[in-house]
Every structure is written in structure tokens, then in C-alpha cells.
């Protein structure tokens, strides 16, 4: 594939990540429901994962994770790892996705957010002997998951368009190389 196509694809994905990050940190922070914020970056990573496959998911996750690391002040690389795994795991379900039904994407986003929550808990809380897993699951993970799914409904169509755009670029590059 020609470099220009790769670059344009990467730029498009990065744009989605940027917008997601801004939405999460600067916009939704004013619309927190009962102190809970939706996780836009997990939504973007998860959707890109099952729309485009394992590789795209992992790479997009890596970008999202680095961003979170940059503004988190904890060990650098924790979020990158979590997001890479989330993106890759979503990529495994690419075969189930046809783009005609919003139920699967929402389920995937919900699951991804729970997995994300579990990994954050495991890496940053459990090791500091915060043992009350049930409490954290019910009071942090689940509310976040519900709000994230609500936001994912809004985000699905832009992400669907993005996927279409990436497919178009792929097709054009095939024609170009043929």
C-alpha cells in the first residue's frame, strides 16, 4: 500500500482519538451524571477494534492509552497496555460485525468498558490492598458502563462513517496499485 494511503488512514484514526479525548476530559466533565463520566476513549478503541480488526484496534488503543498516560501522572505505560488489550480483544469479534445492527456494537462497548474497569482495578487498586471488589464493580464499573453505552449510541454513527471512509481509502489504494 502506498504511503499516502497509510498516512491518511492513520491521521483519520488519530483525529477520532483526539476528538474522543477532548470530549471526555473537557466536555463530558461538565455533564457527569452522579459523579460518573462516560469513557469515550474505550468506545472509540472498541468500535475501531471490531470494525477494522485486531491490528487496528491494538494500534488505536495504543494511541488512546498513551494519551491517558500523559495526563494521568501514574507509571507511564499502564493505560497504553490496558487499551492495547481492549482494542485487540475487540478485534477478535470482527467476523461478527456487519454494520447493520447497533446491538452488537453496544454490547461490545459495554463489555469492553467492564474489562477496562476490571484491568484498572486490578493494576492500580488491588495491589494497594483495596480488596472490596464487589463494591468497586457495582459502584464504579457498572455506572460507567451504563453511561458509556448511552454515549456509544451517539458515537456509533460517526464511527460507522469513519469506518466507511477507511474502507473507501482501502479501495482506492487497491485501484491505485492495480
Q: How many residues bind another protein (CB under 8 A)?
A: 58
Site string for another protein, 63-82 (x = CB under 8 A): --xxxxxxxxxxxxxx-xx-
Q: What is the DSSP string of 110-140?
A: HHHHHHHHHHHIIIIIGGGT---HHHHIIII
Q: What is the DSSP string of 73-110?
A: -SSTTHHHHHHHHHHHHHHTTGGG--SS-SHHHHHHHH
- Does 111 help bind another protein (rule: CB under 8 A)? no
Q: How far is the CB of 48 from another protein (least distance, A)?
A: 14
Within a 10 A sphere around the Cβ of 140, how many other Cβ atoms? 15
Residues that bind another protein (CB under 8 A): 1, 18, 21-22, 24-27, 29-30, 35-37, 39, 41, 53-55, 58-59, 62, 65-78, 80-81, 84-85, 88, 91, 117, 120-121, 124-125, 128, 130, 132, 135-136, 139-140, 143-144, 173-174, 177
Amino acid at each position: 500500500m502506498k504511503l499516502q494511503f497509510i498516512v491518511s488512514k492513520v491521521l483519520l484514526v488519530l483525529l477520532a482519538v483526539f476528538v474522543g479525548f477532548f470530549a471526555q476530559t473537557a466536555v463530558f466533565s461538565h455533564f457527569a451524571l452522579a459523579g460518573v463520566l462516560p469513557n469515550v476513549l474505550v468506545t472509540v478503541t472498541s468500535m475501531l477494534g471490531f470494525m477494522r480488526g485486531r491490528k487496528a484496534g491494538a494500534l488505536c488503543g495504543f494511541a488512546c492509552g498513551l494519551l491517558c498516560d500523559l495526563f494521568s501522572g501514574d507509571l507511564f505505560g499502564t493505560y497504553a497496555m490496558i487499551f492495547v488489550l481492549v482494542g485487540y480483544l475487540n478485534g477478535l469479534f470482527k467476523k461478527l460485525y456487519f454494520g447493520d445492527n447497533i446491538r452488537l456494537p453496544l454490547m461490545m462497548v459495554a463489555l469492553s468498558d467492564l474489562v477496562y474497569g476490571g484491568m484498572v482495578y486490578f493494576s492500580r487498586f488491588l495491589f494497594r490492598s483495596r480488596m472490596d471488589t464487589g463494591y468497586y464493580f457495582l459502584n464504579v464499573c457498572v455506572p460507567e458502563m451504563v453511561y458509556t453505552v448511552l454515549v456509544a449510541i451517539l458515537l456509533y454513527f460517526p464511527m460507522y462513517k469513519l469506518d466507511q471512509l477507511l474502507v473507501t481509502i482501502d479501495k482506492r489504494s487497491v485501484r491505485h496499485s492495480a
